[in-house]
Amino acid sequence: MKRPIKVKFKHHPSPPTGGCTKPFGLCIIIPIGTTDNVTQAEYDEGFGIAQCEVKSGKFHMVFERRAALDDGTVPIQDYWNLGEAVARDFGYKEIIIRPGNYHVDFSKYSEFGEALFDADIR
């Protein structure tokens, strides 16, 4: 069953982790939670909702805001631990998305797309 999570879809020019070199994607480690609510101030800061589920051992995200770069990929630059509370909401102890450039499929969700992320799920 899909659950909504709040994530940040854009990056600061120089985050403290030494970071993100792409204007979109999901490479900033931020507190996230299972919610379908984003305030206008949060939206202006780059937050949005993705409908998520664990599917065939991968983490599936259907985006409700632009996440893909112009080349149709979403970069994950570092291991992304979704946190204990989010993992628990999905019925697991831990969900960690692995780094990589992930292809976004726009065939079913033409506006923002969906992606399957390699993940360590326990």
Write out pLDDT tens, residues 34-75: 667 788 888 887 778 889 999 999 999 999 988 888 889 888
The mean pLDDT value for 73-86 works out to: 84
Task: Tally Cβ neighbours within 10 Å of residue 74.
Answer: 23
Task: List Cβ neighbours of 73 (8 Å cut-off, separation of 6 or more).
Answer: 25, 101, 102, 103, 104
Judge whether residue 101 has pLDDT over 70. Answer: yes
Q: For the chain, how many structural domains are there in total?
A: 1
Asked if residue 120 lies in contact with residue 96, where contact means CB atoms within 8 angstroms, the answer is yes
pLDDT at 7 over 60: yes
Report the range out of 4-13, 61-70, 79-88, 103-112 with the highest average pLDDT.
Answer: 103-112
Domain that holds residue 103: 3-121
Q: What is the pLDDT of residue 26?
A: 53
For position 108, what pLDDT does the model report? 96
